[in-house]
Structure 1
Amino acid sequence: MAAVNRPEQLIESVIAIATEAGQKIKAIFHQGDFEQTIKLDSTPVTSADLAAHQVICERLMSLTPDIPVLSEEDAEIPLSIRESWQRYWLVDPLDGTGEFIAGSNDFSVLIALVDNHQPVLGVVYVPMTQECYFASLGNGAYKRSQGEDFPIHCRSGYEQNESALKLAVSRRQDPNTVLNMFNKKQDYELVRLGGAALKSCLVAEGQADCYIRIGPTGEWDTAAAQVIIKEAGGQVMTTDLQPLTYNRRETLENPNFIVVGQSTRNWKDLLKAAS
């Protein structure tokens, strides 16, 4: 059993778990022969999601037997039980199932440790590139690539005289869905990528200034990336600029949210929804 008084001590163990799950996903992806069904919430699930779920839950329960695990693939746990959890693991075994089905590489494994309604440790592992983003509260954000760890930081600032605000958007999304959220006409550069967590990580490593998500997501979609964003100098908020919290409601569905790299910018003035 691992000690959890200092979440940063768990980082390497959690990265190893995410990597093992990612290897299973990658093997199924390359085989191309996976089962696919539609869940009650009308979202797809594949045999890769379920294989990763099984690995992650088994390994986390072995690592920290006293900490419950809440996974997207086993989320029917009522608030009456969850509200007694001060600390728990929050997992999306395969973020970007639609990308996986479409044959895109833009999917990831997400594992977060939530303490007192806020994520304090986050790992985002990308199976197809074997890259990993990770952070723990108060210890900075990092990207592991080709065996080396690099500190990552949000873009130092979008200034008014710069040519464009860099917006991370989905490969398959009409960009007007996002552009219509803004009050003022200005130049935008669209940075396209699949997977909610991966677009958040673009902001964390300074490749985009902002990511706005309009439409349903679960708390498991944001927790791991939220720690990384925060430690990289940014913020994750609802589109009316309130902080995201976890495990406070019966529903585990997030409101629409915005990921920003320059937390000092006047986003309230820029966004219609915040006016």
Structure 2
Amino acid sequence: MNQKLMNNNPSNTLLNIAIEAALMAGHEILAVYESGDFSVEAKADGSPLTRADKLAHAKIAAKLEKTGVPILSEEGRTIPFAERAAWGRLWIVDPLDGTKEFISCNGEFTVNIALVENGTPVLGIIYVPDLHELFYGVVDQGALKVEGANGFDNIGELLATAILLPLKHDATTYRVAVSRSHMNERTISFIDSLREEHPGLEIMQLGSSLKFCMAASGEADIYPRFGPTMEWDTAAGHAIALAAGKRMEKADDEGEITYNKENLLNPYFIVR
């Protein structure tokens, strides 16, 4: 199956369909971003929802529904577990990850699409619309990055420019990626413990799933998350990190982080 997913035939692979969906969603998001008309609403949990979230969700759903694989999305989270439990394979999607960053206009927002099989992410795509950067990976096949991803006429040309991850970087500086919006005491304490071994460490504060991208690319050495995340926040980044040879561990106990659980809230984790 993975060999098929990494096939660069632009017409008929799950990878290419998902990349196309992410790019289409990114186009919609940027149009709203540049218009300044966000039409912000409050969801039931108090988090913000914008016109861009809705438009991106519609584009992704229309594209992925053609694959026949069911979709679990942040904007469609109400599907009962009794129904989801029968899904051996599913897409997990966050149409606009980092809505707070989107509203604050700092560019640190992403489109996240993952393919999950039997609770494990096997394929991930993260698109950064404001930077036109695309990260994607298939577990056991590799992770890659495309710059200027909006500038190609077809997926085949786009994938031909992809750069294999992780990239080389300055190994003398230890870098920690952390959330821009969710820094807390436990994260600070964990960073302080890292300083004992890496006294000159640098902190990279980033929004959305960009922290996964930095870990997968090697631009960050570690990404600790001691705060709440949902499955759609992490599935794509988890797949890309695994494809790049990284690990995503539970922070408080052993065992793998799994998906399509009855409770869609993730445990705390560390990527390295």
TM-score of the superposed pair, with normalisation by structure 1: 0.84
| Amino acid in structure 1 at the alignment position of 2:141 | N
Letter aligned with residue 213 of structure 2: C
Cα deviations by residue, 1:106-149 (Å, 9 ceiling, x for unpaired): 00000011111101111000111111000112210000113521
Contact preservation (8 Å) 2:2, 2:138: no
Q: 1:48 is aligned with what amino acid?
A: A
Question: CA contact under 8 A between 1:154 and 1:234: conserved in structure 2?
Answer: no
Counterpart of 1:190? 203
Gaps of 5+ in 2: 7-12, 149-157
Residue 163 of structure 2: aligned partner: 150
Which residue is equivalent to 2:18? 14
Cα distance, 1:259 vs. partner?
A: 1.0
SS at match of 2:215: helix
Task: State whether structure 2 residue 174 is matched by structure 1 residue 165.
Answer: yes
Contact 2:17/2:64 (<8 A) preserved:
no
Cα separation, partners in 2 of 1:185 and 1:5, compared to 1, 3 Å: closer
Residue of 238, 241, 260 corresponding to 1:229: 241
**Gap regions ≥5 residues in structure 1:** 261-275
Q: What corresponds to 2:268 in structure 1?
A: 256
* 3-state SS in 1 of match to 2:16: helix
Task: Specify the code of the residue in structure 1 equivalent to 2:43.
Answer: K
Identical amino acids, percent of aligned pairs = 40
Task: Give the residue type in structure 1 aligned to 2:28.
Answer: K
Cα-Cα RMSD: 2.2
Q: Does 1:38 find its partner at 2:50?
A: no
| Counterpart contact for 2:2–2:141, Cα < 8 Å | no
Superposed, 1:1-275 pairs within 5 Å as 6-8=4-6, 9-62=13-66, 64-65=67-68, 67-146=69-148, 147=158, 148-153=161-166, 162=172, 164-174=173-183, 177-181=186-190, 183=193, 185-186=195-196, 187=199, 188-195=201-208, 197-240=209-252, 241-248=254-261, 250-260=262-272
Structure 2 counterpart SS, 1:94: strand
More helix by share: 2
2:178 and 2:60 mapped to 1: Cα distance?
29
* Counterpart-to-counterpart distance in 1, 2:165 and 2:215: 10
CA distance in 2, matches of 1:40, 1:176: 27
Instruction: Please give the alpha-carbon distance, in whole angstroms, between the structure 1 residues aligned to 2:132 and 2:74.
Output: 22
Write the deviation string for residues 214-238 of structure 1: whole angstroms up to 9, x where unpaired. Answer: 2221101111111110111111122
Question: Following superposition, which runs of at least 4 residues in structure 1 exceed 6 angstroms of deviation?
Answer: 154-158
Question: Residues of 2 paired with 1:169 and 1:184: CA distance?
Answer: 13
Q: By how many angstroms is 1:84 displaced?
A: 0.3
Task: Please tell me the residue identity of whatever aligns with 1:179.
Answer: I
Change in 2 beyond 3 A, CA 1:28/1:91 = same
Cα displacement (A) at 1:185: 4.4
SS of 2:190's equivalent?
coil
Is the Cα contact below 8 Å between 1:154 and 1:233 reproduced in 2? no
Distance of 1:184 and 1:202 partners within structure 2: 18
Offset at residue 157 of structure 1 (A): 10
Shift in Å at residue 192 of structure 1?
2.1
Which amino acid in the other structure matches residue 226 of structure 1?
H
Distance between the aligned counterparts of 2:175 and 2:143, measured in 1? 21
